[in-house]
Amino acid sequence: MSKNWSTFLQDNSRYPETVAEAVDRLMELLNGEEKSAIAVMPAENLFELHFTIRIAIRNAFGLHDDVSKLLDSCNQTLHPGALYCSVHPDDASEVIIGELWRRLQDDD
């Protein structure tokens, strides 16, 4: 990625609390080429981002924290209205990438 994650996170020290906020941060972090590469990917190929941006999202946005508001937001995106569902941090980062991809589709 074009920007250094640790520098970016120092400037944005609070974890995002919602999927929309996480996508906003990614839109700021990624350069035009990276956004274009994600935008042209077929939705079924987004899993290919697992060892790059997906792991970075999981680690940088605190998705391993049991009390993560972002993890709760991802849960609600996957299971709207559910009283309790547990989503794995990898699945949560997948939700965020999916929302990023949708926003990039809307931007085109």
Per-residue DSSP letter, 67? T
- Cα distances (Å, whole numbers) of residue 99 to 6, 67, 77: 23, 22, 10
* pLDDT tens-digit map of 8-64: 555 567 899 999 999 999 999 999 999 999 999 999 999 999 888 888 898 889 898
The helix/strand count (H/E) of the chain reads as 6, 0
Instruction: Tell me what pLDDT residue 80 has.
Output: 78
pTM here is: 0.84
* pLDDT tens-digit map of 66-106: 788 999 899 888 877 766 667 888 889 999 999 999 999 98
